[in-house]
Amino acid sequence: MQFNINEHPHRRYNPLLDEWILVSPHRAKRPWQGQKETVTTETLPEHDATCYLCAGNLRSNREKNPDYEACYVFDNDFPALLQNDIEFENNNSTLFQLKPEKGLNKVICFSPKHNVTLAEMEVSEIENVIKTWKEEYIDLGSKDYINYVQIFENKGSVMGCSNPHPHGQIWAQSSLPTQIEKTQKSLQAYFEKHNKSLLEDYVNQELQLKERIVIENEHFVVLVPFWATWPFETMLVSKRHFGNLIGLTSKESLAFAEAIKGITVKYDNLFETSFPYSAGIHQAPTDRISHPEWHLHMHFYPPLLRSASVKKFMVGYEMLGEAQRDISPEKSAEMLRNLPNTHYKLTKPNE
């Protein structure tokens, strides 16, 4: 049989994590009789008096939010990391290693409006979110005990988000997280061998092929990675090689905001629902070491597979063997690329 990339099982290499993924595109045809998620159709108010994140409301710790009009940042009331200095005597053996981890967690409210998402915000409002991300990266990264700043958003109850108010988080810590450490090793090895950015070379080749490109503007590309794990996973990458948010020019900040707006609108339009995902920015560590190998990029990991109510589960083989996907990256890129750029709610005024 002649190999067909959209029909036959095959493995693909992820050069960022030095891992492989199994692609089984023929399995997308199988009937689904498994769990279906509840699709939320509730219309949210612009301000919810019971929401901990809305302007002017009390949070769970009884602190009052200011009447903010744009982004609002505060220390997480239930942090995963603490700033305390801990005395620790290292008596670890090879098989029983541990060490204290110091850091802090913040919450960023993207907007005072309770009933919007990034997909429904204006590009100028998303620009302000990017400006806030940049300020926090600089501020947190300047602390001598912070070596990495992870900016991310969990959107939707399917992703474990307990509050629909548009917000994201920042976890800043003293160690490099595992995924960042793997990525850094790969980026550094490529840079040392070629004296070029791995992602710059990758994006340039993707732009030539145009098989997995979803959105392109002057400064950024949104694409489905060749090695994507999640059904409609995308990666937003700067065309120019620079390592972190500090390197953004004003024009690039605008283009970044336009790209975020573009892909989140397409996600919502795919199944005409507020599309859940986990998204986050990967950028250079703040360990006061030069990192010419790093290249700013943002990942979007949405779980939905074939409808608003059917999600991809990472179980069984994925947990015991390696990651696996049922729809080819080329097919998911085509589906996303062909979607309208106008949010479906704007064409259906009653929704």
Q: How many CA atoms lie within 13 A of 76 on its CB side?
A: 17
Q: What is the mean pLDDT of residues 88-95?
A: 86
Instruction: List the domain boundaries for the chain.
Output: 43-88+99-347
Non-local (6+) Cβ contacts of 144 within 8 A are none
9-23, 25-39, 268-282: segment of lowest average pLDDT: 25-39
Q: What is the mean pLDDT of residues 19-23?
A: 96
33 pLDDT tier (thresholds 50, 70, 90)? very low
* Helix, strand, coil percentages in the chain from 3-state DSSP, rounded to 5: 30, 20, 50
What's domain 43-88+99-347's architecture? 2-Layer Sandwich (3.30)
pTM tops 0.85: yes
DSSP state, 82?
Answer: B
Alpha-carbon distance of 260 to 248, in angstroms, equals: 15
190-222 per-position pLDDT tens digit: 999 999 999 999 999 999 999 999 999 999 999
Q: What is the mean pLDDT of residues 312-325?
A: 90
Q: Which residues are catalytic?
A: 167
Non-local (6+) Cβ contacts of 13 within 8 A are 19, 20, 227
Burial degree of 11 (CB within 10 A; 0-12, 13-18, 19+): exposed
Cα angle, residue 317 at apex, residues 314 and 320 outer, rounded to 5°: 95
244-265 per-position pLDDT tens digit: 999 999 999 999 999 999 999 9
